[in-house]
A and B are shown apart, each in its own frame.
Chain A
Amino acid sequence: MSFSSPMNWDWLLLPAEGMMVHPGMPAGWVEMVLAAMLLMVAWAIWIPVRAGHPHNSLSLAHLPVIGPVVRKILIMPWLLLVLRIVVAAIFMLTIYAGLFGTPLPERNLATMLTWTIWWSGLVGAIFFVGSAWCAICPWNSLSTWLVRRRLWRRGSETASLGLRVPKVLRSVWPALLMFVGLSWLELGFGVTVSPYATALLALLMVVLATVSLAVFERKAFCRYFCPVGRTIGFYSELSPVALRPIDPDVCASCTTLECYHGTADVEPCPTHLVMGRIKQNTYCISCDACSRSCPHQNVAWRLRNVGEEIIQAVHTRWDEAWFILGLLALTSFHGMTMLPAWERWMSVLAWTIGDSGQLLWSFSISMSVSLLIPVALFALLALLTQQMIATKPEYSRVFSALALSALPLAFVYHLSHNLGHLVRESRGMGQVILNPLGTNTQPLDGAEINARHMLPLIQQNAIFALQAGLLLFGFWMAVRILRHRITRVLPQGQAATGRQIMPALTFIVAITLYNLWLLMQPMTMRMCFTTP
């Protein structure tokens, strides 16, 4: 299916002469997205929010056939252990390939698996399985085995110093800073196109996770420092799947809290959560410790409406609001650096400020400005919202409540952008798996480049349809979240007026239009350096 458009949108496109690029979203899809957005804006302004939103969820343990299987799987330690060992083995092979394999990124397992498959596919996986990746994360597995010296049973408490994380670090600020740093390394320093640098980064993360586990109590790295884990945590608030009590009443009457303290065999919750009080997925790493330690076997995967958690339950702190906004700004910035015009912009900026070499100063300045603009815009519009509320609630409360609406915007753009990489650049992965070190391989030849360029794994129009659908879904979720969350800062029982939601709605529209514009642009291919 394709849409043709009578209108000419070419004036919005940046030139890409002489560059190998993926085509951007055609005008027909863009118009469809714009029309749907218009309808949703009208709905948001004129239709009042209904009180008493239904809260539907279903524990998989209650389902007829798969229920007993789910219960069984959740208390079996060996299944997760096998998965952890397999993933850790692949991770170590990736490091080996990065250090000792070919420097050609498109032929080396380290770069192909890490950036094209894992990093691109991870965001999509969150939607379907929540924070399940954290359960098999090799950084966590390797550090746990090294420090606790146990494969799966509870390790000795004295293997770690067990210090409390300093108060100043007990937030997601460290994870946000790490995420900004990683993005700088990825996009500014070019880690994604260097197998060697990718391997070094992987080793660094294992060292950081190990040091953190050896020094601090429980899994401080997962809770406070890991940029990937926190990204997964926030995105998984939107996921329709989460680990939750099967019967909340059982948890309510529990006084022993094995999920929090652990048992003789099972670790306590690594991120300090009590299953009976868990309201949001942000810090759950799906490690299954709670399901194995619960004497009532009262923990299982639960299905719920997409975005239900974020609309109803999530409480956002100031630092968490900043993380969400950082995520939003970073994902859009990611897209911007892959525009064909990006290098020209960098060159002009470098010429203006006298930057030389890898133009890291030019990149750093552009990155800082790109991150500051959406955050400053949001801060301003949150201030405007605060001024429109008669009771003048605390600014940080308004800021934190409204920031949640940015989460689906970041998620869907992240997903749409990564989809392009995944279905176009993962071609040839079979050869890389057969020859992970890329021994005696040559760079991509003309036919291979052409195949990556012209023959994605799914049809071109299906990619555009998915991207358009995702963008609309994110917009719709953001508007819904805004309409519900704004009532939390209004006096009890008061419904938000169209005028009160207008500033934050303007932000949502502006970011979606910007992301739509990014998706319209041709995108440069990542691991393809051969001059066309």
Chain B
Amino acid sequence: MIAVIRSEWLKLRTTAVPWVLASIALIINGLLILVIFLRHDPATGGDTVPHTTQQLKNLVGSGFQGYLFALLLGVLCITTEFRHKTATTAFLVTPVRPVFVGGKMILAAIAGAGLAVIMLIATLIGGGLTLVARGGSFSAMLHQLPAVAPGMILVFALFAILGVGVGSVLTNQVAAIIVVLGWFIILEGILVSLVNSAEKWVPTGAALAASNLTRGMGQGGQTYGLFNQWQGTLLMLGYGLLFAAIGSFILTRRDIT
């Protein structure tokens, strides 16, 4: 299994996919940091310099939405094998298909966590410099890191696992991307706004619970009642493994022609 994961890491880093995804995620993160600093404070009428605990947490976790890129990373790292027909070689090397899917999942989890770390470091540098330049306190920001980082890293890893799971079922790359983005950007929000109690059960709700950050999917980030961190983590992991199990089952019976 170690060999499979090391091979997968070489596979991943020798394509443009992770670097392009990480770059886009970082650019969006930078824009979000700008938004935080440019937002006008309704009380004073001037620009906001984050200083409360929640504001500083929001600044440190400004890259949180980047979990969508961890998700895409997971989807792409498995569907690219079918798109470029490299699956033939992959299955010759690793003929037991659940091992192939499992290796991808572990690698994706590590890469997803890595993406979270990169985004946190970038935020600390970019957001920290801006904060200091605007007269804020960097040490106060750094103080919020332990509250934000573990949850964010965990959530990125969980989304990457889910991505591999979905990709193992929907091996058509375009279809898989449309389905995951359609679900996470549009359908899930509609579902939760119609049936508020569904929030804790949908993947994003489970991931938010796992992150242990008080954010929700409702208006203004309010929550309709989430699971606790452990429940959320297990539920999210469960979704990933469920898809992977279905995907492995299908792949084992699938003809690679």
Partners in one complex: no
Which residues of B pack against A, CB within 8 Å? none
